[in-house]
Amino acid sequence: MKVLLNEQQLANGVRRLADDVKQTYGDQPLTILGVMTGSVMLLADLVRLLAMPLRVGVVQASSYRGGMTPGQLHVDSRLMPDIAGRDVLIIDDIFDTGRTMVKLSELLHSMQPRSVRTAVLLLKDGCQKVEMRPDFVTFNIPDEFVVGYGLDYEDEYRNLPYVGVLEEEDLQRHRLRRQAER
Ligand code: IMP
Ligand code: MG
């Protein structure tokens, strides 16, 4: 697999992101909402670098139904904390077309928060299909399908400590393994 961002680069990026978040919110209470499941790594690493009074919640959104082509976007807000009157920062793994963030922002705005901002680990250059841009972008990356550090391909590879690009051999091995599982 081709490594795009190694552990050290990721750690440095998350530290920069945490500094930007501190700059913006200061000591104000903040609610961080991680978009499941892709943001788990970023969520865990980021919140440990923040010291303001912090609430952590999750919301489930899935647009890719496993593979590399997007399907219908599903949002499940049943695990979400009450955000009325609160400053909310949504965090996600990647801003691709941007449709997931737009839909989530709209949903959250309808819940009367004090403010809603968005942060992502990755932004795929040139792939956006919406006007909106995240308030915080940790890394800009080229238009390639990436996995690791929370990002999946068919629900696998989220546990990789780096962000990488699956190569043809990786895909072939993946297909064979999946066939064997059936
Ligand atoms: P968007 O709605 O097109 O911005 O897509 C955002 C969602 O698609 C992310 O939360 C990811 O789950 C998924 N996604 C987009 N690009 C990639 C990728 O390169 N690898 C893995 N997942 C991706
Ligand atoms: Mg996702």
Which residues, at least 6 apart from 123, have a Cβ–Cβ distance to it below 8 Å? 94, 95, 133, 134, 137, 139, 140, 141
Q: What is the pLDDT of residue 150?
A: 98
Element (H, E) at 141: strand 136-141
Q: What is the pLDDT of residue 123?
A: 98
pLDDT digits (tens, 9 = 90+) for 77-90: 888 999 999 999 99
pLDDT digits (tens, 9 = 90+) for 141-168: 999 999 999 999 999 999 999 999 999 9
Where exactly are the structural domains of the chain?
2-181
Query: For this structure, is 96 an active site residue?
Result: yes
Q: What is the pLDDT of residue 68?
A: 67
Phi, psi of 98 (to 5 degrees): 95, -5
pLDDT digits (tens, 9 = 90+) for 22-46: 999 999 999 999 999 999 999 999 9
Q: What are the distances in angstroms from CA 116 to CA 15, 31, 87, 90, 107?
A: 21, 10, 6, 7, 11
- 103 Cα to the center of ligand 2, angstroms: 13
pLDDT digits (tens, 9 = 90+) for 48-75: 999 999 999 999 997 655 566 666 788 8
* CB of 149 sitting under 6 A from ligand 1: no
Q: Which CATH architecture has domain 2-181?
A: 3-Layer(aba) Sandwich (3.40)
Q: What is the pLDDT of residue 67?
A: 65
* CB of 64 sitting under 6 A from ligand 1: yes
Q: Percent of the chain, pLDDT > 70?
A: 95
